Amino acid sequence: MDREKFRKYGYQLIDWVADYLETVEKHPVKSTVQPGEIKAKLPPSPPHHPEEMDRILDDFEKIILPGITHWEHPGWFAYFPANNSPASILGELLSAGLGTQGMVWQTSPAATELEEVVMDWLRQMIGLPEGWAGVIQDTASTATLCALLAAREKITGFKVNEAGFDSPLRVYASREAHSSVEKGVKIAGFGRKNLVYIPADDELAMIPGELEQAIEKDLGNGLQPACVIATVGTTSSGAVDPLKPIGEICQKYGLWLHVDAAYAGTATILPEKRWALDGAELADSLVFNPHKWMLTNFDCSAFFVKDPQVLTRTFEIHPEYLKTGVDAVVKNFRDWGIQLGRRFRALKLWFVLRNYGVEGIKKIIRRHIHLAELFRDELQQDGRFEIMAPVYFSLVCFRLKAGRPEEELNELNRRLLEEVNSTGRLFMTHTTLNGKYTLRLVVGQRTTEERHVRQALEIIKQKASELLASG
Ligand SMILES: *Cc1c(COP(=O)(O)O)cnc(C)c1O
């Protein structure tokens, strides 16, 4: 592509993205293609000869776009959001243009130093103590794996890195913890049977007394406790494990405490939601995802550690070809995680933090929380619905009940979800809470307004009426 064409298609694509964001509502939120439909439209082998951008872009619209599920649609109420914003998109574009690979300081000093600075801004925003240091990971799953590896090394005096496991180490998490905990435990070599699930209370938060009992029981059986993972804002229901009592137990037994606040961490920049991180100062590490709720496009996961030396001792490697003259005085983020090569993600985060300002971000988060509360209140007033968990943030868990017998409810709600999503106007997902099929509605897309939430309510109520009338 010559430079004239690069400019031409560059301008054209920025226009395309701008139009897309303005008109995304015209698409069904969830792609309606069938499995295999996209692949069937693509050639099985690569093109031999160069193709014109016009043709490629044409195929993008014809073949790829129908297979897109629109995360940026204001009717996005599924899973958790994966936000972007104009500032973030431009930061990502610049990062691609620079093609930076920031594995060590000298491979782009600005990539390392900007990352240090924006991570410290985030640290202040969520109120972690001074001295904690941050690094951007691709995802919360990776951050939690890093925490497990660091915990493993700290508890064994860095021996597993040298010689492998010589006895089992135990990890504890609430029954409601995210599946990335189980995945991390498997990958880090603890073994799934050494992951101990701790019961949760009526509000689905870990019961600290049960944690202590499980630790005592393991000690009695000669097993070595290593790490506790607490969740602030569980994926199923938004439950908050109480960090203070959990942290005190971890200190008493000398265990690593990792806090998974992937979704809800963003909300803790609000003074009225900061309670959710009370006790985080007792933890050893914490992760939250600006790529979920802080207007920064995927991927961008903020991982903080109290003692960065444990982390770097866990991961550091010193091959001759990576040594530089400044290693003693700079951060080389290659030693702060699993990968060597690193994207310049700090750039988009910096754009977002500056372009919105902390106050601008707070305003959007508050609007989302307010809209979730409005949704909950309206459903409650309807009388046919049951709210399944407290609404602390912007996630509402509910089900249609309408006086029907318990054994019909799972199927009734499964059908309700299908009917609602098939309208294409909104997209919600489900979970099970205490064995009960539960619908989840999360308000968190940047452009979601009251009218979208009211429309969702209307559709849900109407589909509920139709289902109940049909038997
Ligand atoms: C979304 C989520 C994760 C996983 O996030 P990734 O960044 O996609 O790995 C982990 N924990 C919780 C509580 C989450 O909500």
Ordered by start, the domain boundaries in the chain are: 3-72, 100-343, 358-469
Q: Which CATH architecture has domain 3-72?
A: Up-down Bundle (1.20)
Query: Residue 383 Cα, ligand 1 centroid: separation in angstroms?
Result: 33
Query: Residue 431 Cα, ligand 1 centroid: separation in angstroms?
Result: 15
- Compute the average pLDDT of residues 204-212: 98
Residue 39 has pLDDT above 90, yes or no: yes
How confident is the model at residue 210, as a pLDDT?
98
Beta bridge mates, 440: 397, 429
Choose one of 180, 286, 292, 395 to mutate for the ligand 1 pocket test, by most ligand atoms within 8 angstroms of C-beta.
Answer: 180
Choose the CATH number for 358-469 among 3.30.70.330, 3.90.1150.10, 3.40.50.10490, 3.30.360.10. Answer: 3.90.1150.10
Residue 142 has pLDDT above 80, yes or no: yes
Residue 328 has pLDDT above 90, yes or no: no
- Compute the average pLDDT of residues 279-297: 98
Residue 471 has pLDDT above 80, yes or no: no
- The ligand 1 atom at the shortest distance from the C-alpha of residue 177 is 13
Q: What is the per-residue pLDDT across 103-115, written as a single tens digit (0 to 9) for each?
A: 999 999 999 999 9
- The ligand 1 atom at the shortest distance from the C-alpha of residue 263 is 15
Closest residue by Cα to residue 257 from 155, 346, 377: 155
Binning pLDDT at 50, 70 and 90, where does residue 327 land?
Answer: confident
Determine if ligand 1 sits within 6 Å of the CB of residue 178: yes
Residue 318 has pLDDT above 90, yes or no: no
Extract the tokens encoding 441.
């509605």
pTM of the model: 0.97
Q: How far apart are CA 149 and CA 188, in angstroms?
A: 6
Binning pLDDT at 50, 70 and 90, where does residue 9 land?
Answer: very high
Nearest CA owner, ligand 1 atom 15: 235
How confident is the model at residue 221, as a pLDDT?
97
For tokens 């204001």, what's the residue?
74
Residue 213 has pLDDT above 90, yes or no: yes
How confident is the model at residue 421, as a pLDDT?
98
- Compute the average pLDDT of residues 293-311: 97
- Compute the average pLDDT of residues 270-278: 98
Percent of the chain scoring above 90 in pLDDT: 97
How confident is the model at residue 59, as a pLDDT?
98
Query: Residue 183 Cα, ligand 1 centroid: separation in angstroms?
Result: 12
Q: What is the per-residue pLDDT across 373-430, written as a single tens digit (0 to 9) for each?
A: 999 999 999 999 999 999 999 999 999 999 999 999 999 999 999 999 999 999 999 9
Query: Residue 48 Cα, ligand 1 centroid: separation in angstroms?
Result: 40
Estimate to the nearest angstrom the gap between the alpha carbon of 154 and the chain centroid.
26
Determine if ligand 1 sits within 6 Å of the CB of residue 140: yes
Closest residue by Cα to residue 155 from 144, 141, 170: 170
- Compute the average pLDDT of residues 421-444: 97
How confident is the model at residue 163, as a pLDDT?
96
Determine if ligand 1 sits within 6 Å of the CB of residue 296: no
Q: How far apart are CA 154 and CA 283, in angstroms?
A: 14
Is there a contact between 248 and 230 (Cβ–Cβ < 8 Å)?
A: no
Q: How far apart are CA 302 and CA 287, in angstroms?
A: 6
Extract the tokens encoding 384.
């046919």
How confident is the model at residue 69, as a pLDDT?
98
Query: Residue 131 Cα, ligand 1 centroid: separation in angstroms?
Result: 25
Q: What is the per-residue pLDDT across 221-254, written as a single tens digit (0 to 9) for each?
A: 999 999 999 999 999 999 999 999 999 999 999 9
**Strands 133-137 and 301-305, sheet pairing:** antiparallel
Determine if ligand 1 sits within 6 Å of the CB of residue 288: no
Q: How far apart are CA 422 and CA 59, in angstroms?
A: 26
Query: Residue 16 Cα, ligand 1 centroid: separation in angstroms?
Result: 30
Q: What is the per-residue pLDDT across 180-204, written as a single tens digit (0 to 9) for each?
A: 999 999 999 999 999 999 999 999 9
Closest residue by Cα to residue 402 from 309, 464, 315, 339: 464
Q: Supply the mean pLDDT for the chain.
A: 97
Binning pLDDT at 50, 70 and 90, where does residue 322 land?
Answer: confident
- Compute the average pLDDT of residues 4-10: 97
- The ligand 1 atom at the shortest distance from the C-alpha of residue 144 is 10
How confident is the model at residue 49, as a pLDDT?
97
Q: How far apart are CA 364 and CA 230, in angstroms?
A: 26
Determine if ligand 1 sits within 6 Å of the CB of residue 137: no
Q: Which CATH class is domain 100-343?
A: alpha beta
- The ligand 1 atom at the shortest distance from the C-alpha of residue 138 is 7
How confident is the model at residue 469, as a pLDDT?
95
Query: Residue 321 Cα, ligand 1 centroid: separation in angstroms?
Result: 35
Query: Residue 422 Cα, ligand 1 centroid: separation in angstroms?
Result: 26
Query: Residue 296 Cα, ligand 1 centroid: separation in angstroms?
Result: 15
- The ligand 1 atom at the shortest distance from the C-alpha of residue 299 is 7
Residue 256 has pLDDT above 80, yes or no: yes
Binning pLDDT at 50, 70 and 90, where does residue 325 land?
Answer: confident
Determine if ligand 1 sits within 6 Å of the CB of residue 431: no
